A and B are shown apart, each in its own frame.
Chain A
């Protein structure tokens, strides 16, 4: 999907478009060339991307809910509100429990979803940061130095990409199962297995950018390698990395949910959208659809939102699209 170049027309009706062109035609050239930084320009384009704005809205809502939600909830996620009235199969959505109650422990699904948001989002974002950092460093070194180092690092990437990632993550995550609070271990594991794509991307960007004139000019006046990488090349490589990062967030949120669903991920003292489902499979044949449905929808909405933002960013950073 990342390679899909045919996105539906981002935002802007026909009238907008015509109006904009009219303005452009009439506008003073000097004004048009007013110095906009790369990011100001990107933001201007991003704002026109309707789906991306929707995505941003959804994500912001989830973040706010994950922070302040638990404070306003009438009881904690692991409370068993009505121990006296346990119905084995759980109860469907009602006014008091709009997302229903789980089977077994009779927990409120809404509570679980709200409380799960925080850890799931933290895992998605933090593991992305780790992955992108490692990937950028590895890719930058490989692309800038070239030669033997490049070859070696890229073979390592080949190896890592050949391993069925989720599978390895499952195994490694299992190692940390015995820690009580293992959120950061899980983040680390996901981070360590999500850098390969970024490193390939950064490497290829470096290979093309380092041949460009401005890098040669910097080198000619004696700028050191590290400075060339961080001051001259990286800023130019930033936009594709940001787009790739959104895909990693989406992938890791889903991945964490799966690992935790299987019981090898985050321990239930920290609810996530995955581990709150770990017993749901048992109750599904009893008709308990509300238990998996709502956490699943939360995952889908979040991933959709992140993907929309990614699409918006890609268009925004694409110099071929117009502001």
Chain B
């Protein structure tokens, strides 16, 4: 039921009708002076109509590049979308669409909200201009009608006296208000998919909650699907149905939000969740994942998390783990613990995690 990963669908064939977004083996590489960066390295997932999906990871894990690849907003070159990558959206493969066709989808069926509302809005045009421009373009609405619609969408996102706000410039609005404008803009053409890339990171904590609440209500009201990109597990817990955890360009775990947050099965997700400070863990030592994200030019040969993993053994240095199924619910984790070879170590690892969650001490295996 919670088929986050692609069901074994055939390359080149559209997915089932209820699947809005189907990403298959997508690889996005950047060719830069120092070499090639596999920013996204073979990820696959699905998002059904009206559902919400969270993509979680540290900065540099490839989650934003995933969104920009789907929107086809990357400059090519330096980016390269590797042959064989497929993104099916609403029954069409969009990576191979002509750019004119893609433009008709962008902002219309598929809209995106960016992290920095101040810099993401054009400083020299009024809020109304920026929203109605999009409406005029996609809905072929006349100027006046588009303007009215801009006012309506501002009202929808809870902006008071939208008739006045619509004539203001971005610098005249507060941070939270700007992000509401971004959301209003994204929703103005009633998209089927809304991609939000760290929509609350740049905002005050109190405003964050409001914006998340808003995203949730408008998403429910308009019935659009939501792809939420964040590094904040708290946000994920509140907002999404399914979760994909990314590390160094790969998906390391996927499942429902309950499964992944409450019973993580990949060591990386375990570490992420353990590092959240909670009241229960007070007094204990805050755990953190040891080491740093590997350089994209110099990735570990097999498992990319192995140098930082407290449970790693010889096999992890030589054999790259696949995304192995965990249990029968369709969830998956990229770790040898879930193979017959690692079965013996699995229970110990789970026990360590359980203890870390209750008494809050650092993971064993750390060198200090």
Contacts and interface: CB of A to CB of B under 8 A. Distances in A.
Interface in B29-43: 33-34
B27 to A, nearest CB: 24
Nearest to B35: A18
Interface of A: 14, 17-18, 21
A149 to B, nearest CB: 36
A264 B162 CA distance: 67
SS of B interface (majority): loop
SS of A interface (majority): helix
Contacts of B34: 18, 21
Contacts of A14: 33
Interface of B: 33-34
Contacts, number: 5
5 contacts: A14-B33, A17-B33, A18-B33, A18-B34, A21-B34
Nearest to A17: B33
A32 B33 CA distance: 23
Contacts of B33: 14, 17-18
B258 to A, nearest CB: 45
Nearest to A18: B34
Nearest to A14: B33
A25 to B, nearest CB: 11
A14 B34 CA distance: 8
Closest 5 CB pairs of A and B: A17-B33, A14-B33, A18-B34, A21-B34, A18-B33
A21 B33 CA distance: 11
A18 B32 CA distance: 12
A243 to B, nearest CB: 26
B354 to A, nearest CB: 41
A96 B232 CA distance: 81
A17 B32 CA distance: 12
A57 B180 CA distance: 59
A21 B32 CA distance: 14
A14 B33 CA distance: 7
A21 B34 CA distance: 9
Nearest to A9: B33
A14 to B, nearest CB: 7
A143 to B, nearest CB: 31
Nearest to A21: B34
Contacts of A18: 33-34
B15 to A, nearest CB: 42
A21 B298 CA distance: 14
B168 to A, nearest CB: 31
B77 to A, nearest CB: 15
Contacts of A17: 33
A18 B34 CA distance: 7
A18 B33 CA distance: 8
B295 to A, nearest CB: 11
A18 B297 CA distance: 13
A14 B31 CA distance: 13
A171 B4 CA distance: 81
B320 to A, nearest CB: 26
A18 B35 CA distance: 9
A4 B257 CA distance: 50
A285 B34 CA distance: 57
B356 to A, nearest CB: 35
A192 B242 CA distance: 73
A17 B34 CA distance: 9
B94 to A, nearest CB: 33
